[in-house]
Structure 1
């Protein structure tokens, strides 16, 4: 139960970070670029779109996983639904009146968001109780084929960015694949790895 509460807490921390990167308006990460574009096109909120896309990957995991544990997937479903609602809460309510006109300050806000999101994600991965559907889906594909996890994970990023750009240009939507997308591509994974190792190095790994 302790790990579950901690995992959900760090899911929320990650959602706060993602909300900050969106609010900064200098571009978002690959996966979130598709979420934001779909939200801009529809009447759905960004967190709701994030939940729906995560659930689609979760369904893919259930179909691919021959040793599927339904309690585990129910927990993952709870986590991704909470994750999406947290994004909606933070972005549309807590930060709704928060605006910055300076490009430099927006860039700093984006970097802060990436660090917060990466820290939260790293802690979720360290606790190893709740996994992210995209990573789980790519791992299952890698185990069943000759291609590596990173190949599938980067493929997901490419598809998300491509679809986001197609939607943006086809429907005259704001382009969210920008400098922030490039920054997150290089920075986010490093922050996640740092976060995963942070407590391990201090001998604070949870039992």
Structure 2
């Protein structure tokens, strides 16, 4: 039964990755963390899924330093999952979806909304099994427990920092803005879908 939970948790993790690839493809802005990932990808010319994995691993390393009772197997499984997570984003963005152009704004909104719902559902179902956590949320939970300050304070803090650096990269290097209407839509919709689907 435990193996089934690991498999399903991993599967829904990959579903979330597919949803994220759709939100990026819509090109109307992305969630706060992904806006930083896409901006770094543009500057570095490294595929966005790879950047997503690397950024998440940075947060995971931070978790290792601040968490007292570390479960080594859990961390190893998360690293493997994050590598696969980024690979799924790359496979869809740079292979399966590469030839698709979304020229209609309302269609872009539809694709982004669908991607956000899929990403939120995948994330929620993965969290439901209590095995795989996203490093950002895990770090915020650890810090919240240590400092007795709210999880929301840390999570929104991460969002603000990511948005700031994404805007800084876009304006400095004259790239398109990745913090747009999609960022607001993601902010309103993503958490709602995650909460509904993790029950």
Q: CA deviation at 1:143?
A: 1.0
TM-score, structure 1 normalization: 0.94
Structure-2 residue corresponding to 1:99: 101
Q: Distance in 2 between matches of 1:8 and 1:82?
A: 9
Q: CA deviation at 1:28?
A: 0.3
Structure-2 residue corresponding to 1:154: 156
Q: CA deviation at 1:131?
A: 1.0
Runs of 4+ in 1 over 3 A off after TM superposition: none
Q: SS of 2:198's equivalent?
A: helix
TM-score, structure 2 normalization: 0.97
Structure-2 residue corresponding to 1:79: 81
Structure 2 unaligned regions, length at least 5? none
The count of residues paired between Structure 1 and Structure 2 equals 197
**What CA deviation, in whole Å up to 9, does each residue of 1:34-53 have, x standing for no partner?**
00000001121000000000
Q: Distance in 2 between matches of 1:43 and 1:186?
A: 30
Structure-2 residue corresponding to 1:125: 127
Q: Distance in 2 between matches of 1:38 and 1:173?
A: 11
Q: Distance in 2 between matches of 1:115 and 1:2?
A: 24
Q: Distance in 2 between matches of 1:127 and 1:69?
A: 16
Structure-2 residue corresponding to 1:23: 25
- Most deviating of 7-16 and 117-126: 7-16
Structure-2 residue corresponding to 1:200: none
Q: Distance in 1 between matches of 2:12 and 2:86?
A: 13
Q: CA deviation at 1:146?
A: 3.3
- What's the C-alpha RMSD, in Å, of the aligned pairs? 0.7
Q: Distance in 2 between matches of 1:114 and 1:60?
A: 27
